[in-house]
Amino acid sequence: MNVLRLSWKNIISKPLPSLLSMLLLAVGLSTGIILKLTEHQLTENINNTGKDIKLVIGAKGSRLQLVLSSVFQIDNPTGNINYGFYSLLKRNKMIKEMIPVSMGDSYKRKRIVGTNHDYIRLFSGELKEGVLFEKPLEATIGSAVASELGLKVGADFVGGHGMEEVLHSHDEYKYKVVGVLERSGSVLDNLILTPVQTVWIMHAGHGHDSEYTLGGAKEEIHDVPELEEVLVDSLSQKHEVHNHEGHSHEHHEHAEVNLEELLANIDPKDREITAILFPNLSGNAKIGVLNNANNQPNMMAVDPAPEIALLKNKLTPFVSIIIAISWFITIIAMFSVFIGLLSSLRGRKYEIALMRVLGASKSKVLVSILFEGVILSVLGYLLCLVLSHSGMELIGNWMQNEYQYEFTGWIFLNSELTYLLVAIVIGLVSALIPAYKAYKTDISETLSK
């Protein structure tokens, strides 16, 4: 029977007060750890998602909303811009890469994004099975979409208009899953990706802006021949490929002819996208695009980095309040451990004297009480790990549903070890006065009572 074991026995002999102290400490520390886990994953997600996007062009509105919706896929779009502007910018030799994104539809709360293959490359997406989308109505889905909705290659589904709630279903056209992406830990995991033409087909008939200028000269967009050619080529080629894969020839021919006709009949004014993402854009090219877009009547260009920094600044007061609450709970926990030990010692005064009579030195008695504080706090820390990580997992599931980002409780940060130190210090500090009182116990006086 050593001192450590004696301390442990004293703790478990009073399970309820001990558990209360541990629980309070655990709740206080858990709040801090959950914040750390959230902050870490949020920062990682933001960095992974936004680091390569240097500029975003979208409809005029909130700059932050444009960044959140088109880069991070967590807000509603500010509106749409005409695809013609994208085509005009394509003629600019200084722009090496730009990616159209078209949003507005979803399937079971998973966003459908019209784009091209560059979008997948931007987030280092890789195919797990099937192929990348090529033709309208073909969809390549993220890993979370596949696992959560049970969609596989070959499956079809009907999308609906709306991001959170489907306002109306596009019953007339079915998406067909042609590929599933590997898990990438990026926005791709929760998206359904399809060519931008799919979005036009789904929304055929809703026309908007039409006038854009490039380099100051006004240009009215009536038609984009390049695009038509690419589209028709793509349709014909994929038609052949699908024949080789043994799909129903008759069915595809029928569907594709209809789509070709439909696409050809869509007024260029109605060919819209939500935003254009510019990876690796810098220097004069960036300034040029920025100025050009901002000169358009219903358009704006936004650099995501300052917007994200602004968002972080806006969140800082809330984070500070939560941190303050977590410390407040932790300090209450410290008092709880202190009061628990003190009242426990009052009842054990004779036991302390007895230990001294049996040969325990003053320092041994002091250490045994300090051990009690430390054991309680270490147990509180272990309980806090369980609470914080399972709590984070629950919050993560909710956040994933709400914001399409993957958050998990099953990661461990090195900074969590700091909380162990904090817990031990709390245990020691709260046990210090009771331990000193035990140290100073007058054995003779106590035994005489």
Smallest distance from other proteins to CB 380, Å: 20
**Whose CA is closest to 424, among 372, 366, 364, 386?**
372
Asked if 342 interacts with other proteins (CB under 8 A), we say: no
Tokens found for residue 280: 């690796």
Judged by beta carbon, residue 118 or residue 445, the one nearer other proteins is 445
Give the DSSP H/E element, type plus range, for residue 174.
none
Helix-, strand-, coil-residue percentages of the chain, each rounded to 5: 60, 15, 25
Judged by beta carbon, residue 10 or residue 30, the one nearer other proteins is 10
Judged by beta carbon, residue 386 or residue 447, the one nearer other proteins is 447
User: 69 Cβ partners below 8 Å, 6+ apart?
Assistant: 58, 75, 76, 77, 78, 103, 274, 275
Give the DSSP H/E element, type plus range, for residue 351.
helix 349-357
Are 426 and 26 spatial neighbours (Cβ–Cβ below 8 Å)?
A: no
Asked if 16 interacts with other proteins (CB under 8 A), we say: no
User: 286 Cβ partners below 8 Å, 6+ apart?
Assistant: 54, 55, 278
Smallest distance from other proteins to CB 437, Å: 17
**Whose CA is closest to 192, among 219, 216, 170?**
170
Interface characters, 57-86, with other proteins (x: CB under 8 A): ------------------------------
Stretch near other proteins under the rule CB under 8 A, chosen from 9-17, 197-205, 209-217, 393-401: 9-17
Asked if 135 interacts with other proteins (CB under 8 A), we say: no
Asked if 1 interacts with other proteins (CB under 8 A), we say: yes
Stretch near other proteins under the rule CB under 8 A, chosen from 34-42, 55-63, 210-218, 345-353: 345-353
How far the first Cα of the chain sits from its last, in Å, is 28
Report how far residue 264's alpha carbon sits from residue 136's, in angstroms, rounded to the nearest whole number.
13
Within 352-391, which residues bind other proteins (CB under 8 A)? 354-362, 364
Stretch near other proteins under the rule CB under 8 A, chosen from 7-15, 22-30, 142-150, 215-223: 7-15
Judged by beta carbon, residue 182 or residue 351, the one nearer other proteins is 351
Judged by beta carbon, residue 7 or residue 296, the one nearer other proteins is 7
Asked if 13 interacts with other proteins (CB under 8 A), we say: yes
Q: Tell me the number of residues near other proteins by CB under 8 A.
A: 24
Smallest distance from other proteins to CB 143, Å: 53
Are 212 and 296 spatial neighbours (Cβ–Cβ below 8 Å)?
A: yes
The only residue of 328, 350, 398, 410 in contact with other proteins, by rule CB under 8 A: 350
Place of tokens 């960095």: 47
Instruction: Please give the residue ranges that form the binding site for other proteins (CB under 8 A).
Output: 1-2, 6, 9-10, 12-13, 348, 350-351, 354-362, 364, 443-444, 447-448
